[in-house]
Amino acid sequence: MSSAISPTRNDDYPEWYQQVIKAADLAEASPVRGCMVIKPWGYGIWEKIQKDLDRRIKATGHENAYFPLFIPLSYLEKEAAHVEGFAKECAVVTHHRLEEKNGKLVPTGELEEPLIVRPTSETIIGESFSKWVRSYRDLPLLINQWCNVVRWEMRTRLFLRTAEFLWQEGHTAHATKEEALAETNLMLKVYKECMEEALALSVLTGEKPEHERFPGAEVTLCCEAMMQDRKALQAGTSHYLGQNFAKASNIKFVTESGTEEYAHTTSWGVSTRLVGGVIMTHGDDDGLRLPPRIAPKQVVIIPVIPKPENQGSVLEYAEKVKSAISDEFYNGEKIEVQVDTRDMRGGDKNWQWIKKGVPVRIEVGPRDVSEDKVVLYRRDKEPKEKSFMTIGEAKGSISDILNQIQANYQADARNLRETYTRSDIENFNQLKEFFTPKNPEKPEIHGGFVLGYFFDSKEVADKLKELKLSVRCIPFDQDGTEGTCLITGKKTKIKAIFAKAY
């Protein structure tokens, strides 16, 4: 059977990914190196993700605020590990004016101190925190920011790794290590719930090994999801920063007993990368499949107009169906329905919406008008599988149908991760074999997650790098048994997830 996307996932997964983005009209490259244009359907998904996550962030007591886009160069230098991690590739503003010289515009007005376009905002937000925090009564300070950030990446891929991207970054300050660690864990849980409930991803949570930590963090927790090519996607991270950034930014407070101490801070973020994760988790060879909770429209109505004389009655009927269905609720909000009135063949429209991944398509034609019926297609079923029903039946069942689709995508993601997670690999040779394609000329989809014994060390990190592998996380769930590290053979009671990653 032919598919709407060429190549298929099996034929060439990276190229399939690009083609789905194109076919679903999600985003495209821009003339600015590494920066993308997020098109309306792609941005609509991000808006849905934002709305869901923002609600959860506020429900856990955080408030949104906004801090400057620019960071003075000297701020970046305040935290040693941080500057090491972020000074490498960033956009540097050096001038504040353009003037015409010999018919050409040239930068003038050199700044005394260059400004960095924020790659992350610990240092500039820390400056505010140092003013806002005076006493233990000011703690905890729980702030979140939705914004754009820039990291001058050399190799970019739409949504997954772009020079500019959109994200939220939470920044909090606490009186004690215990409270800051509790916050770090809480926000990881919030991420996991958002990813699983709204995005229908299946994520593993745990801690990063030392060499994979955020620059400047003492603990980095993460959500790792498995994509359909069985690679890992780091979908979100939550960091306990100890007192490192508090010392760098001078965030001090007077305790209840009158002593002065540095605060303990955290930071946590997820980005438009999540849209890439949704594509690679749920897409199939016909294009995108969108979980109803984050679909910009949950239902599209496609009027089929074989003859011009039908147009009036069919369009009128389509609006009637729309108003019946958009009165229904899904996940506490009214269902979002679009009537596609474009002047285009019904079959073409239908395939466009399949590729865009809209959860439910409803076709209405001249015969349906007279019989008060509709034809309903679900994106989680075969493209031609249809149900005939009355408007009343569609109205009565739409919320259930959307729930089923959401649940089916969740189950698919969970099955994928469980099916391709191996816990029986005992040594380096087995590990290497598992991650080696049978046909190196045209590598098939292979590998997965390996849960195996791990002794945290630089040696492990380096050796894994040779195989283009990494430790994705040390899962929170540990059985406590002892065994030998897959890489070094050293005795250890820790198990980690080994995988290839985006």
Interacting residue ranges for a second copy, rule: CB under 8 A: 28, 30-32, 35-40, 43-44, 46-47, 63-73, 75-77, 83, 87-99, 105, 107, 109, 114-117, 124, 127-128, 131, 137, 143, 147-148, 150, 152, 164, 166, 342-343
| Min separation Cβ 140 and a second copy, Å | 13
Please state the closest distance from residue 6 (CB atom) to a second copy, in A: 22
Nearer to a second copy, 95 or 491 (CB): 95
Q: Which helix (H) or strand (E) holds 57?
A: helix 40-59
Task: Please provide residue 350's backbone torsions phi and psi, each rounded to the nearest 5 degrees.
Answer: -55, -50
Copy the structure tokens of residue 1. 């059977």
Between residues 141 and 416, which has the closer beta carbon with respect to a second copy? Answer: 141
Complex with a second copy: residue 90 or 485, whichever CB lies closer: 90
In angstroms, give the least distance from the CB of 239 to a second copy.
22
CB nearer to a second copy: pick between 99 and 400: 99
Which one, 43 or 449, has the nearer CB to a second copy? 43
For the chain, give the longest Cα–Cα distance: 84
Eight-class DSSP state of 436: S
Instruction: Write the DSSP string, 444-476.
Output: PS---EEEEE---SHHHHHHHHHTT-EEEEEES
23-26 LR contacts (CB < 8 Å, sep 24+) = 23/287, 23/288, 23/355, 23/356, 24/279, 24/287, 24/288, 24/355, 24/356, 24/357, 25/356, 26/158, 26/159, 26/275, 26/279, 26/288
Q: What is the closest distance, in whole angstroms, from the C-beta atom of residue 434 to a second copy in the complex? A: 38
End-to-end CA distance of the chain: 30
Nearer to a second copy, 336 or 412 (CB): 336
Query: Where are the alpha helices (H) located in 238-272, listed in sequence order?
Result: 244-249
Q: How far is the CB of 77 from a second copy (least distance, A)?
A: 6
Pairing relation of β-strands 252-254 and 219-226? Answer: unpaired
Residue 434: alpha-carbon gap to chain centroid: 27
> Smallest Cα–Cα separation from 171: which of 52, 46, 64?
64
- Alpha-helical runs (H) found in 97-209: 122-132, 177-193
Closest separation between CB of residue 395 and a second copy, Å? 22
- Smallest distance, a second copy to C-beta of residue 174, A: 17
Retrieve residue 268's tokens.
């946590």
How many Cβ atoms are within 10 Å of 326's Cβ, its own excluded?
17
